[in-house]
C-alpha cells in the first residue's frame, strides 16, 4: 500500500473531524465550511486542491493507487527454435508493468533460467542441451504481488528423421533454400532486370545456399516443372537486382510457371551453374515451392562487421554489427512503402548474452530480397524473429511469422 497516500487519508479524516467540531461550536460563523458540502459521491474520494475556495475536490477512486494490485501476468510463447544443441524461445508477457515480471524456465529440478521482459513485454530465453528428448516448463511471475501465470509446457524431441530403408537422411553440400512463386505477372520495370521484355511473365526468385558466378546464370541452366507436368525453360534468369557483393545468391526466373492454385512442382538446375568458387550445382533441386498466395519468409541470416566490403556507409553511426536478412523474395512495407518503424519494432534479435533487442535501423536501399538489420549491441546476434504481417512481397502479400538462426560471416 502507498504509505504517503494512507497518511494523507488519515490527515483528511482528522481534518474532517476538526471541521465537524468547529462547525458544532461556531455554527454562527459564516466563513466556516459546512462539512456536508464536502461529501463525495459513491466511488469518489476527497483530495486536496488549493486552487479551489473549499481547498478540496472529489475525484474518482482508483484502487490501483492504494493496493497497486494487478491481474496475474499472462504468458505466451511465439517461437521455439532448436538447432540441435541450443533452443531459443521467444514470447510475450501481458501485464501493466512487464518490467516487474520475471519469466522462469525449468529444465528439471536442478536447472532454472530466468529473464526479464522489456517494456513491451517481449522476452527470450536460450537453453543449451544435447539431449534427444526433454521437457521445459515456463511461467511468468510477479514476485512482489505473489502472482504467477499459467504454466506453459514445451516438449523438445530431436529423434533423427529416418528413411524407410533405415538410412539417416543426408543433406547436399549445396542446396536451394527457397523457390518463391512470387508474382503472376511481372510489371514493366522487370524488363530492365533482364534486358528484354518479360512484363507479364511469372516471377520466381530462387535462393541458393551459396553465392554464384554471375556469368554462369543463364536460362538454359534451369528447368521448372509445372503443376500440369510440363517442363518449362525460363525466359530469363538473372541475379538482378540482388547483385551486390554480399548478395549474389538469388536468381530471378521468369516465364509461364502457373497461376494461383497451380504451384509448380519442381525447380532443378540442369546446366552449368557454378558457385562463386567454381563448383558445379548441376542436379541441385527443390520441390518445396512457395505458392503465389503465401507471403515471404526469411531463409538466411548472416552476421557481418559494419566495415565489411559492401556495407560501408549502409548503417548509421553506433552500429556494432550487421545482420543481413535474405528473404524468399523482394520485400517492402504495405503497398510498396519503404520499411519503417513497424518493421523495425517487429524484428527482434536474440543476442549471445541472452538479451532480445530491436535493430537500431533496417536498411533496404534497393528493391530486392535483402534487408540489413543494424545492431548497436556488441554481443553477437544468434537468432532473428520477425512478427507476421509487416513485410510485403511485390504482390502485396504479407509475411507469416518467420525466424532464422544467424550465421557468422
Q: Is 374 helix (H, G, I), strand (E, B) or coil?
A: strand
Name the residue range of residue 308's domain.
Answer: 295-409
pLDDT (0 to 100) of residue 299: 97
Give the pairing of strands 321-327 and 152-157: unpaired
* 310 shares a domain with 282: no
262 and 195 within one domain = yes
Q: Give CA–CA dist 234/257, Å, rounded.
A: 9
> 176 and 273: one domain?
yes
Looking at the structure, tell me whether residues 207 and 226 fall in a common domain.
yes
Residues 281 and 180 in one domain: yes
Query: Do the domain assignments include residue 386?
Result: yes
In-domain check, residue 222? yes
| DSSP strands (E only) in 162-211 | 176-180, 202-208
Per-residue pLDDT tens for 183-235? 888 989 889 999 999 999 999 999 999 999 999 999 999 999 999 999 999 99
Q: Which of 30, 51, 67 is the last residue of a domain?
A: 67
Note whether residue 219 is domain-resident: yes
Q: Are residues 192 and 279 in the same domain?
A: yes
CATH number at residue 218: 2.60.40.1220
| Sole residue written with cell 530491436 | 358
288 and 305, same domain (yes or no): no
Same structural domain for residues 327 and 407?
Answer: yes
Question: In whole angstroms, how far apart are CA 309 and each of 158, 213, 244?
Answer: 38, 18, 10
How many C-beta atoms lie closer than 10 Å to residue 308's C-beta? 15
Q: Are residues 32 and 105 in the same domain?
A: no
How far apart, in Å, do the first and last CA atoms of the chain sit?
Answer: 54
Q: What is the pLDDT of residues 79-119, one digit of tens each?
A: 888 877 788 888 899 998 998 999 999 887 678 889 988 88
Counted domains in the chain: 4
Strand, coil or helix: 20: helix
Q: What is the pLDDT of residues 375-404, one digit of tens each?
A: 999 999 999 999 999 999 999 999 999 999
In a domain, 341, yes or no: yes
Residue 164: inside a domain, yes or no? Answer: no
Give a yes or no: residue 162 inside a domain.
Answer: no
pTM exceeding the 0.85 threshold for the entire prediction = no
Task: Verify that 142 and 86 share a domain, yes or no.
Answer: yes
Q: Is residue 165 situated within a structural domain?
A: no
- Are 305 and 286 contained in the same domain? no
Final residue in a domain of this structure, among 51, 67, 83: 67
The answer on 148 and 130 residing in a single domain is yes
Amino acid at each position: 500500500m502507498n504509505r504517503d497516500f494512507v497518511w494523507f487519508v488519515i490527515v483528511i479524516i482528522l481534518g474532517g473531524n476538526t471541521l465537524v467540531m468547529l462547525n458544532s461550536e461556531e455554527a454562527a460563523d459564516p466563513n466556516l465550511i459546512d462539512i456536508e458540502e464536502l461529501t463525495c459521491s459513491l466511488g469518489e474520494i476527497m483530495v486536496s486542491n488549493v486552487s479551489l475556495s473549499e481547498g478540496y475536490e472529489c475525484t474518482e477512486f482508483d484502487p490501483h493507487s492504494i493496493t497497486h494490485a494487478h491481474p496475474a501476468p499472462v504468458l505466451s510463447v511465439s517461437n521455439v527454435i532448436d538447432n540441435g544443441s541450443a533452443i531459443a524461445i521467444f514470447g510475450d508477457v501481458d501485464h501493466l508493468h512487464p518490467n516487474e515480471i520475471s519469466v522462469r524456465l525449468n529444465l528439471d529440478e536442478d536447472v532454472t533460467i530466468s529473464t526479464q521482459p522489456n517494456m513491451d513485454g517481449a522476452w527470450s530465453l536460450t537453453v543449451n542441451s544435447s539431449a534427444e528428448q526433454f521437457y521445459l516448463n515456463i511461467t511468468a511471475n510477479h514476485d512482489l504481488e505473489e502472482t504467477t501465470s499459467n504454466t506453459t509446457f514445451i516438449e523438445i524431441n530431436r529423434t533423427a528423421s529416418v528413411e524407410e530403408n533405415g538410412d539417416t537422411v543426408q543433406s547436399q553440400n549445396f542446396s536451394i533454400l527457397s523457390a518463391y512463386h512470387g508474382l503472376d505477372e511481372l510489371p514493366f520495370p522487370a524488363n530492365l532486370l533482364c534486358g528484354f521484355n518479360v512484363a507479364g511473365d511469372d516471377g520466381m526468385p530462387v535462393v541458393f545456399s551459396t553465392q554464384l558466378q554471375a556469368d554462369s546464370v543463364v536460362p538454359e541452366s534451369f528447368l521448372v516443372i509445372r503443376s500440369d507436368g510440363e517442363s518449362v525453360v525460363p525466359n530469363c534468369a538473372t541475379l538482378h537486382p540482388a547483385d551486390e557483393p554480399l548478395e549474389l545468391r538469388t536468381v530471378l526466373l521468369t516465364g509461364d510457371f502457373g497461376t494461383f492454385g497451380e504451384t509448380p512442382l519442381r525447380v532443378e538446375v540442369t546446366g552449368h551453374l557454378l558457385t562463386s568458387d567454381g563448383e558445379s550445382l548441376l542436379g541441385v533441386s527443390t520441390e518445396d515451392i512457395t505458392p503465389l498466395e503465401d507471403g515471404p519468409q526469411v531463409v538466411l541470416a548472416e552476421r557481418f562487421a559494419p566495415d565489411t566490403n559492401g556495407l560501408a556507409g549502409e548503417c548509421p553511426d553506433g552500429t556494432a554489427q550487421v545482420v543481413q536478412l535474405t528473404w524468399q523474395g523482394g520485400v517492402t512495407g504495405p503497398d510498396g512503402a519503404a520499411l519503417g518503424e513497424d518493421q523495425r519494432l517487429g524484428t527482434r534479435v536474440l543476442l549471445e548474452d541472452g538479451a532480445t533487442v530491436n535493430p537500431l535501423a533496417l536498411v533496404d536501399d534497393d528493391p530486392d530480397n535483402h534487408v540489413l538489420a543494424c545492431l548497436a549491441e556488441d554481443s553477437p546476434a544468434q537468432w532473428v524473429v520477425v512478427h507476421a504481417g509487416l513485410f510485403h512481397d511485390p504482390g502485396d502479400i504479407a509475411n507469416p511469422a518467420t525466424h532464422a538462426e544467424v550465421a557468422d560471416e
